[in-house]
Amino acid sequence: MAIKGDQTRARLIDAARTLVEARGYYGTGLNEVVEAGHAPKGSLYHHFPGGKDQLTAEALTVSAREIDDLIGSLADTAPSTQTLIEAMLDALADRMEEAAYNKGCPIATVALEVAATHDTLQKVCADAYDGWQRALVDRLILDGHAPAQADDLACALLALVEGALVLARARRSRAPIEKARRTIAVLLNA
């Protein structure tokens, strides 16, 4: 594929990421993606012959990788799981505020909409969450937790982070994130 084609494809994915996170799967139209991606409509089906589902799946995958990278970079420097989670919460909360609460978790909006009805996108969402949970399990094991305990604790931590982001976005306030931070400290220091 030519460089121009790669750039068009990347612009469409970026536009879909932004719109789907803000408006959801059903609230995002392909015409809006094409317009936001500054691309001719024909290029959408050229690059994404599977249409909206393929485009959304690829956008979610790119978004999930972005969070994977965030967790990985924070894990490399954080002295503990608690420090890692706090830094992750800060980064995601900052991202949310910078976007005037149009962003939260880049996966949650779609996961909430389609998990029960759309197998392909449900799997992409589940894979993203599974990857983040595995990264937290690895970190918890490094901190001395037994693998089974680490898995349960990682699931609880991820649920706290995700829930805090949903509540913060709904309330347009960082308060739920600060409450989750305190709860995470209690869980990790119990």
Give tens-digit pLDDT for 80-138. Answer: 999 999 999 999 999 999 999 999 899 999 999 998 899 999 999 999 999 999 999 99
Distance CA 31, CA 37 (A): 10
DSSP string, 115-144: TTT-HHHHHHHHHHHHHHHHHHHHHHHHTT
- Pure H helices in 48-173: 51-77, 81-98, 108-114, 119-142, 147-171
Query: What one-letter code names the amino acid at 147?
Result: P
Q: What is the pLDDT of residue 116?
A: 87
pLDDT digit string, tens, across residues 31-84: 999 999 999 888 888 999 999 999 999 999 999 999 999 999 999 899 999 999
Q: What is the pTM of this model?
A: 0.92
Which domains occur in the chain, in start order? 56-188 (1.10.357.10)
Residues 6+ positions from 173 with CB-CB distance below 8 Å: none
Q: What percent of the chain has pLDDT over 90?
A: 87
Residue 2: the pLDDT is 66
In percent, the amount of the chain with pLDDT more than 70 equals: 99
Closest listed residue to residue 84, CA positions, set 181, 166, 163, 162: 181
Would you say 176 and 101 are in contact if contact means Cβ atoms under 8 Å apart? no
CA 45, CA 42: separation in Å to the nearest integer?
6
pLDDT at residue 52, as a whole number: 94
190: pLDDT strictly greater than 70: yes
pLDDT of residue 164: 97
